[in-house]
Amino acid sequence: MNRIFSGVQPTGNLHLGNYLGAIRNWVRLQEQYDCIYCVVDLHAITAPQDPDELRANTREVTAGLLAAGIDPANNIVFNQSRVSGHAELAWIFNCVARLGWLNRMTQFKEKAGKHRDNATVGLYAYPTLMAADILLYKATHVPVGEDQKQHLELTRDIAQAFNSMFKTELFPMPEPLILGAAARVMSLRDGSKKMSKSDGSDYSRINMTDDADAIALKVRKARTDSEPLPGSPDGLEGRTEAANLLGIYGALADKTVAQVCEEFAGQPFSVFKLQLVDLAVSVLAPIGKEMKRLCDDPNYVDQVLSDGAERATEIATPILSEVKKLAGLL
């Protein structure tokens, strides 16, 4: 059976970039794979967190996944800390992985910056916990972006090392699931910057909780230029704001940028934005409405996470038991 494991950080304030870049793909994958979707709160605490905010963000991200269309009855949706096997297997993998492997991980260098001596051990060992997340369920496929390819390669190295060390074929070699070019969604106020929850202007992003009026206003206020729309993507060179809006339209409509250029060639942004407003509202407003409803019902969200954790534990327990047996743990 092909099984997907994918994790999402409980960062809160989900926006259009999160939806088009990852969540929408997860919704589509559930039709083809046995899917396990995890809100990785143990990974989140590698950086300082406010406990109340972390709990709220975990619920909010879960609400976003459900509102976008992930079915918790047919897929497993849970938060990482509810299944202790993640931490247990990560420790065993800490005793398999080599320092040289972790030293090559570029994300630690980027996140720790010039203050590596003050970084936590958790941040350094983050990739072994990621390997445990995947292998605890014998996942065969992992949706990955460019920034995660290296971590998946390490997961494969750890799986191979464990299998070799204990003369077993327990762990599969998980394959990267490349979903094509992910929509790279930029700020609505500055086409050279990624859309981000940390941007000071709320008009720079479309939040997944925005209602129809907010979505329409933000699209209308989105920065553009004075030139008409080109007939091909070549005409977007140097026009970052135009490229961003056409890319968003294409992603929402499941069209290529070339198709969008052809459709709106020569038209002014005033005409194009009317169409983008209609499209964005039709796709995103129902998600925002449902997400708000779920955020107002934390007991339901907690029950989804609890049920998901029980089902995840049922899969993980025999695998972890076999790991312990092979490693000589009573």
The answer to whether 292 is a known catalytic residue is no
pLDDT digits (tens, 9 = 90+) for 196-232: 988 889 999 999 999 999 999 999 999 999 999 999 9
The answer to whether 194 is a known catalytic residue is yes
Residues 234 and 129 in one domain: no
Distance of alpha carbon 181 from alpha carbon 3, whole angstroms: 22
Q: Which two tokens stand for residue 230?
A: 């080109």
Q: What does the pLDDT average to over 321-328? A: 98
CATH code of the domain in which 206 resides: 1.10.240.10
The answer to whether 197 is a known catalytic residue is yes
pLDDT of 88: 98
Residues 222 and 161 in one domain: no
Active-site residue, from 111, 255, 292, 324 = 111
pLDDT digits (tens, 9 = 90+) for 168-187: 999 999 999 877 655 679 99
Residues 29 and 117 in one domain: yes
Residues 50 and 143 in one domain: yes
What's the domain range around 322?
Answer: 3-183+298-327
pLDDT digits (tens, 9 = 90+) for 149-160: 788 999 999 999
Q: What does the pLDDT average to over 159-163? A: 98
Of the spans 7-11, 87-91, 122-126, which averages the highest pLDDT?
87-91
pLDDT of 180: 60
Active-site residue, from 194, 289, 292, 324 = 194
Count the domains in the chain: 2
Residues 139 and 282 in one domain: no
Residues 78 and 222 in one domain: no
Active-site residue, from 197, 255, 292, 324 = 197
